Amino acid sequence: MSTNLRPLAERVDAPTVAPIPQGTDLTWRALTTGDVAALARLVDAVETADAAPYRSAPEELTEHLEDPALDLTLDTLGGWDDDGVLRAWAFVDQPAGDTTVVRAFLSGGVDPLWRGRGIGRQVLAWSMARGRQRIVATGKEVPARLGVFVDDTAAGTIALLTAGGLTPIRYYSEMRRSLEGDLPVTTPADGITVLPWSTDVDERARLAHNEAFADHWGSEPQTPEQWSKGRAMFAPTWSFVAVDEASGEVAGYLVSGRYEQDWPIAGYSSGYTELLGVRRAWRGRGVASDLLLAAMLAYRADGIQYAELGVDTENPSGAHGLYARLGYEVFHGTTLRTIEL
């Protein structure tokens, strides 16, 4: 901990109560697992209006609402109109494994038909207040951060976040490459075998991930519980581990997702590389290229047209350049906006 930091509670200044929006013509309450259908409709409307190149599946929303780390009563909010239609929502997530920076991630939205009434501003105020509460509750005397990931196409949300004091701190690119024709020619990494994903390597892959991303900005260790989250769209037959033949250690890993709900929006089918990491001792040997090629071959074998992935534009491992050399091209961007505490 930096000796220059003031106490966490003093820096973060969490309110006793997160302010419920007022004067909005909406009735506010916490979300429940029974709200998935209503939430899915609203999220789809927001993603459509914001020209997002993806759609959130009901399975993903269900998984989020059923996350034991999310206290539905305190960490979620929904606003319903007089006809019982959900018009606004918010989530506040705080990753349990945070050690060097304790973070609260805010997400939510307002029905496009109800925008321009000041609802978004109040929902953001509630989210930020609850985020501060969650940060203070960790008791971790380290730097803290309120963060929101926003699509570069979501002009209204960007304006709202700017007015709320959240400023850009990191930029991310979504990249893709066609799987038609010849795939990249790579030199296999010496002494490395790429194996299909299996349950018996899952924990070793988590530990490899924590090590591989220890030098990446904004990355914090993932607990076993965190590692097992976000699996609603997990594609194990498209996921791989790179194993050192001499030691048997996991040198790298690639986790893929199958987001079929995105395909009609994009106009093509795709396999998405969720996570790709190589431990420091094995970098510079072509392990990442081997894993990416294995994924491309698996995608194409299932008739998939494109390989996609996301990357921090300032990734210290040079990942952006690697992807470009393998034929990936940028097609979308997102930005992390934060308030540093």
Residue at which a domain ends, from 103, 130, 165: 165
Are 215 and 255 within one domain? Answer: yes
Are 12 and 161 within one domain? Answer: yes
337 assigned to some structural domain: no
Q: How many CB atoms are closer than 10 A to CB 86? A: 20
Tell me the C-alpha distance between 223 and 228, whole Å. Answer: 9
Are 201 and 137 within one domain? Answer: no
Tell me the C-alpha distance between 88 and 107, whole Å. Answer: 11
199 assigned to some structural domain: yes
Digits of tens for pLDDT over the chain (341 positions)?
A: 445 788 898 899 999 999 999 999 999 999 999 999 999 999 999 999 999 999 999 999 999 999 999 999 999 999 999 999 999 999 999 998 888 999 999 999 999 999 999 999 999 999 999 999 999 999 999 999 999 999 999 999 999 999 999 999 999 999 999 999 999 888 888 899 999 999 888 888 888 888 877 776 666 777 878 777 778 899 999 999 999 999 999 999 999 999 999 999 999 999 999 999 998 889 888 999 999 999 999 999 999 999 999 988 776 556 778 898 999 999 999 999 999 99
Predicted pLDDT at 187: 83
2 assigned to some structural domain: no
Which alpha helices (DSSP H) does 184-271 contain, by range? 202-212, 224-227, 263-266
340 assigned to some structural domain: no
Are 61 and 159 within one domain? Answer: yes
With a CB cutoff of 8 Å and minimum separation 6, the contacts of 10 are: none
Q: Is the dihedral of CA 320, 324, 327, 329 positive or negative?
A: positive
Calculated CA dihedral for residues 213, 217, 223, 229, nearest 10 degrees: -90
Are 179 and 327 within one domain? Answer: yes
Write out the residue range of the structural domain in which residue 265 sits.
175-331
Half-sphere exposure in the Cβ direction for 304 (13 Å, CA): 26
Longest dimension (CA), the chain: 66
**Total domains in the fold of the chain:** 2
Q: Render pLDDT for 160-196 as a digit per residue (tens, 0 to 9).
A: 999 999 999 999 999 999 999 999 888 888 899 999 9
* Helix 155-163 / helix 119-138 crossing angle, nearest 10 deg: 60
Are 86 and 147 within one domain? Answer: yes
**What is the enclosing helix (H) or strand (E) of 76?**
strand 76-80
Residue owning tokens 């494994």: 97
Q: How many CB atoms are closer than 10 A to CB 211? A: 16
Question: What's the Cα-to-Cα distance from 241 to each of 42, 116, 118, rounded to whole Å?
Answer: 37, 48, 48
Parallel/antiparallel/unpaired status of strands 250-257 and 86-93: unpaired
Are 238 and 270 within one domain? Answer: yes
CA 263-265-271 angle, 5° bins: 30
Are 30 and 179 within one domain? Answer: no
CA 66 to chain centre: 17
234 assigned to some structural domain: yes
Are 148 and 207 within one domain? Answer: no
1 assigned to some structural domain: no
Q: Which two tokens stand for residue 164?
A: 């709320």
336 assigned to some structural domain: no
341 assigned to some structural domain: no
Are 17 and 83 within one domain? Answer: yes
Residue at which a domain ends, from 165, 187, 220: 165
Residue at which a domain ends, from 126, 142, 165: 165
- CA neighbor of 87 nearest in space, from 153, 21, 156: 21
Predicted pLDDT at 157: 95
Predicted pLDDT at 2: 47
Q: Which residues of 238-262 are buried (b: 16+ CB within 10 A; e: fewer)?
A: bbbbbbbeeeeebbbbbbbbbbebb
Are 190 and 314 within one domain? Answer: yes
Predicted pLDDT at 221: 76
Are 223 and 276 within one domain? Answer: yes
Question: What's the Cα-to-Cα distance from 209 to each of 70, 111, 275, rounded to whole Å?
Answer: 23, 37, 9
CATH code, domain with 233:
3.40.630.30
